[in-house]
Chain A
Amino acid sequence: EDQVTQSPEALRLQEGESSSLNCSYTVSGLRGLFWYRQDPGKGPEFLFTLYSAGEEKEKERLKATLTKKESFLHITAPKPEDSATYLCAANQAGTALIFGKGTTLSVSS
């Protein structure tokens, strides 16, 4: 069964304390791996799309990487405003996104 699993479920960091969020997927014929940020009571905000193993993308303090089995979202020197739920999703050709349950990140000052 195609599946996307995110870990940890929740992560608490101090401001400036870098860390990584994990997204493992068992999707045959991966077409794309997507990262979104979701704030409470709002829709997901698009961050990155990764298409092939070895690909990396960066945006401010965030960097997403992809291997054949998992993706990482690295957060460098996080700030309180980075607190949110980060969602990972994957799809195959012709299918809709399969979402993970998300990692809720809390960054305290």
Chain B
Amino acid sequence: GAVVSQHPSWVICKSGTSVKIECRSLDFQATTMFWYRQFPKQSLMLMATSNEGSKATYEQGVEKDKFLINHASLTLSTLTVTSAHPEDSSFYICSATTSGVTDTQYFGPGTRLTVL
């Protein structure tokens, strides 16, 4: 149980284009989903927290107009990187919980984004 999927697992795009990453909870309803990014040999950095049907809460320093998050249902959240640039290249990981920010988070397998 508690399986989270992400799609795509990797993506390469040209600078200036937008990329959408999907995060799905496969066998449970996720009231809260999180988006992280991870640079090589670094720990996870929280980007934003989203609850189904409401606007995401972004961490300090994360541009909400650049990283658009939509949590349209209890099983799906999407992260859109708009006008991507090479410095946005990173490993993006989502996680989901069943009952809020303090519950155990189950992580997706991650999406490797490379911006040329």
Complexed CA–CA distance, A96 and B97 (Å) = 11
Shortest CB distance B69–A (Å): 14
Which A residues contact B (CB, under 8 angstroms)?
31-32, 34, 36, 41-46, 49, 87, 91-97, 99-102
* Residue of B with least CB distance to A98: B46
With A87-B44, A96-B46, A100-B43 as known contacts, state yes or no: A46 contacts B2, CB within 8 Å.
Answer: yes
With A31-B102, A91-B102 as known contacts, state yes or no: A97 contacts B46, CB within 8 Å.
Answer: yes
With A42-B109, A96-B34 as known contacts, state yes or no: A101 contacts B101, CB within 8 Å.
Answer: no
Complexed CA–CA distance, A93 and B112 (Å) = 31
With A96-B46, A100-B43, A101-B43 as known contacts, state yes or no: A45 contacts B101, CB within 8 Å.
Answer: no
Give the number of residue pairs across the A-B interface with Cβ within 8 Å. 52
Complexed CA–CA distance, A94 and B101 (Å) = 6
Which B residues contact A (CB, under 8 angstroms)?
2, 4, 6, 34, 42-44, 46, 49, 91, 93, 95, 101-102, 104-110, 112
Neighbouring A residues of B91 by C-beta, 8 Å: 41
Neighbouring B residues of A34 by C-beta, 8 Å: 104-105
| Residues B102 and A44 in contact, CB atoms below 8 Å apart | no
